[in-house]
Amino acid sequence: MEPALWRQLDAVVTALQAVRGGQSGTAALAAVEPGLRPGVQALLFQVLRNLGRAQALRKQLAPRNPPPRADALLCTALALAWSPDEAPYEAFTLVNQAVEAAKRNPASQAQAPFLNACLRRFLRERDALVAATDGDPVAQWNHPAWWIARLRKDHPQHWQQILQANNAHAPMALRVNVQKTTPAQYLLGLSAINLEASPAGPFGIVLDRPVAVQQLPAFADGHVSVQDTAAQMAAPLLLEGLDLSQPLRVLDACAAPGGKTAHLLEYAGAASPMQVVALEIDADRATRIHETLDRVGVRAQVLVADAARPQDGWLDASGGGRFNAILLDAPCTASGIVRRHPDVRWLRRESDIEQLAQQQARLLATLWPLLQPGGRLLYCTCSVFRTEGEAQVQTFLARNTDARLLPSPGHLIPGKPDESGGVSENRPGDHDGFFYALLQKHAA
C-alpha cells in the first residue's frame, strides 16, 4: 500500500530544508525511513528541478518570507503543481495534501491557514502568476543566477542546451565488463527479460528505463557496473597505446567509489601485470572501492590517503617509484552531473569554483613529478565550468614546459548529441557533462 501523500510531502519538506541548510540530497534522503524513500526521492528531485520557478511563485503569493518550514512546504507544493503537464498528481490533490501535511506537523501547524490561502489563490490565478514569473531567468531555468551567467560566458553557443539537459532525467547507463561478457551478449540477456536497451560506445549500454541493480543479469557477479558513458571514457583514454603486457604502475588518485579503478583493470585484462594503486582520503568511501573491486573480480592496492600529500607515506606504501600513468579525477563542483544530482545547483556557491580550482591545481602540481618521463596523466572533472577544465589545463601547461597535451575530448556537453557542432566526435551518446585532458611528460 502506497504511503499517504501528505506523509511523503512532509518528508520531502524535511529533505528540502536539509538541502537548503547545506546538506547533500543523498544525505537528506538517507535519513528518510525506507518505506517512504522511493516516493520521496522522486518528489524531491522534481522539486529541486523546479525550485527556481517555485521560489519566484512564492514571492508572488507571499512577498514576506514565511517561517522556514512553511516556506519549504509552500515551495514544494508550487514546484510540483505549477505545470499541469509535469505534475505527478492533480493540482487540487497536491494542495489538499500539502495543507494536510502542514496541519500534521507541529512546526508548520500554525501556518496551515496561510498555506491554504496561498495555494487556493494559486489554483485560481495559476496562469497569471506563472506568466508574471516568466521573465525571471532563475524561474525559467531553475538554476541560480550566477550559474546561468557563468554558463553563458563559458559556453555562449550551448548554455541553453546545458541548462535544458540539467533539468531532464539522466539515463541509466551500464559499463560491460569485457573480461566476462560483451555488450552484444549482455544486450541479448536484457532482451530475454524484457529490458530494452541500446549500445553506447565500446563498453556502454543505456537502458530505456532505469531498474534496480538487482534486476540486472549477473550484476552481483560483476558482468556490468552502473556508470555514465562519459565516465567510461577515462580508462581507454589513459591506457590506449600503452604496452599492457609490461608491469606498469598506474595511480588512480581520487578513486572512490571505484568505478574507474575497476574499469582500468577490466580494460588491461586479467593477463596484464599492471599494478593499480587507488587512493581515497575518506575511509568510508575507500570501503566502497573494495566492494566495487570485489564484485567485478579485480584487484588493486587501495590506500586511505590524501593524494596531495605523498610525504605522509602513501607513495612509499605503494612500493615507491614513479608511475607510468596517473588518473586524476579531481574534486570539482559536479556541475556536469546536475541531472543526476539536482541538489548540486542549490548547494554550490560561486566562490566554490575558485576554491576547488586551487585544490585541482595543487593536485596537478603534486602528482606531475610522480610521473615517469614519457608517462601520461589524465586530468578529468565532472564539471562544465571552464575554470575547472580548459583554463586549469592551459595554466598547467604554461607552468610545466615538460608537458604536452595529447588529443583529448575537452569539455563534453551534457545531454544528447545535437547538430550544432558542440560535441566531440567520440561522444558516446547521451551522457553527463565532463572534461578530459590527456597530458604526456616529455621523455628525458
Residue 351 DSSP SS3: helix
210 and 258 belong to one structural domain = no
Each residue's pLDDT tens digit, 348-383: 999 999 999 999 999 999 999 999 999 999 999 999
Q: CATH number for the domain including 195? A: 3.30.70.1170
Is there a single domain that holds both residue 34 and residue 49? yes
Burial 155-187 (b: 16+ CB within 10 A, else e): beebbebbbebbbeebbbbbbbbbbbbebeebb
* 393 and 410 within one domain: yes
Any domain includes 147: no
Does any domain span residue 284? yes
Of 122, 140, 158, the residue at which a domain comes to its end is: 140
Angle between helices 37-49 and 68-81 (to 10 degrees): 80
- pLDDT tens-digit series, residues 284-331: 999 999 999 999 999 999 999 999 999 999 999 999 899 999 999 999
Contact 121/77 with Cβ under 8 angstroms? no
**Mean pLDDT of the chain, nearest integer:** 95
Handedness of CA 14, 15, 19, 23 (dihedral sign): positive
CA dist 234 and 244 (Å) reads 16
Residue 332 has pLDDT above 70, yes or no: yes
Q: Which of 188, 211, 226 is the last residue of a domain?
A: 226
Q: What is the pLDDT of residues 199-221, one digit of tens each?
A: 998 999 999 999 999 999 999 99
Residue 154 lies in a domain: no
Asked if the structure places residue 149 within a domain, the reply is no
Write down which residue in 183, 202, 226 finishes a domain: 226
pLDDT for position 421: 39
* In a shared domain, residues 268 and 219: no
3-state DSSP call for residue 77? helix
Residues 201 and 134 in one domain: no
Question: Are residue 236 and residue 208 in the same domain, yes or no?
Answer: no
pLDDT of residue 2: 82
CATH number at residue 65: 1.10.940.10
Q: How far apart are CA 277 and CA 93, in angstroms?
A: 54
Residue 355 lies in a domain: yes
Task: Print the domain residue range for 209.
Answer: 173-226
Q: Do 210 and 250 lie in a common domain? A: no
Report the pLDDT value the prediction gives residue 416, as an integer from 0 to 100. 73
Tens of pLDDT, residue by residue over 61-115, are: 998 999 999 999 999 999 999 999 999 999 999 999 999 999 999 999 999 999 9
Percent of the chain whose predicted confidence (pLDDT) is above 90: 94
Confidence of residue 426 (pLDDT cuts 50, 70, 90): very low
Per the structure, the count of domains in the chain is: 3
- In this predicted model, which residue has the larger pLDDT, 414 or 422? 414
Cell of 249: 604502475
The predicted structure's pLDDT at residue 136:
98
282 and 400 co-located in one domain = yes
Q: Is residue 151 part of a domain?
A: no
**What distance lies between CA 18 and its chain's CA centroid?**
19
Give the helix ranges, DSSP H, for 193-258: 234-239
> C-alpha cell of 222?
560483476
Rg of the chain taking only CA atoms, in angstroms: 24
Residues of the chain above pLDDT 70, percent:
97
- Rounded to an integer, the average pLDDT of 392-398 is 98
The answer to whether residues 236 and 352 belong to one domain is: yes
**Which of 75, 332, 380, 382 is labelled catalytic?**
382
Does the bond joining 257 to the residue before it have cis omega, within 30 degrees of 0?
Answer: yes
State whether 215 and 247 are in the same domain. Answer: no
Together in a domain, 354 and 404: yes
Is 382 an active-site residue? Answer: yes
Rounded CA gap, 435 and 414, in Å?
Answer: 11
Residue 388 located in a structural domain? yes
* 159 within some domain: no
Are 296 and 260 found together in one domain? yes
User: Which CATH number does the domain housing residue 279 bear?
Assistant: 3.40.50.150
Q: What is d(CA 444, CA 439) in angstroms, rounded to the nearest whole number?
A: 16
